[in-house]
Structure 1
């Protein structure tokens, strides 16, 4: 999974996904995120992630914006802190 210099092969966004940073916890399995495309969206934490993956403010996540309501999205992936640092180092996120 990782090579000699400590770089991991990270999951990159699919065509319909964007990087986002969690800015606020709203409760009821919802968070406010600031997406890489400049949009602020309300993102939903899907049921399969709720108990297994804890999402906190300032986490870097992948979200999939809804086709029919652009201000909303579903979280599809959460990056560990070191993975998020690597994404910043490589210029994928700011």
Structure 2
């Protein structure tokens, strides 16, 4: 039993992505997120994710902030609960 026995390789943020926690469901495929950089943003769930992936309050997601409007972002990835726990253990998120 190695210490990395339960560890999975998780998708990490690209240069323009940040970790975020979903704080509020706004409807119309939008969620309120608190990003790791301390900014609250309104994030849009893109069409390719809407039907396949359910996003709920408290989920850890990756968002890509918009270049031209920093208070908005697109959700690019959602982590499962076990993956979010692993990210916390490894110190990537609080």
Relative to the length of structure 1, the TM-score reads 0.96
**1:8 aligned residue:** 8
Alignment partner of 1:53 is 2:61 = no
Provide runs of 4+ in structure 1 moved above 2 Å. none
Unaligned regions of 5+ residues in structure 2, if any? none
* Aligned length in residues: 92
Relative to the length of structure 2, the TM-score reads 0.96
Matches within 5 A, 1:14-33: 14-33=14-33
Distance 1:8 1:42 in 2: 29
Q: What SS does structure 1 have at the residue aligned with 2:83? A: helix
Q: What SS does structure 1 have at the residue aligned with 2:85? A: helix
Instruction: Please provide the CA RMSD for this pair.
Output: 1.1
Per-residue displacement from partner, 1:33-65 (whole Å, max 9, x unpaired)?
Answer: 000000000000000000000000000000000
Unaligned regions of 5+ residues in structure 1, if any? none
**2:63 aligned residue:** 63
**2:75 aligned residue:** 75
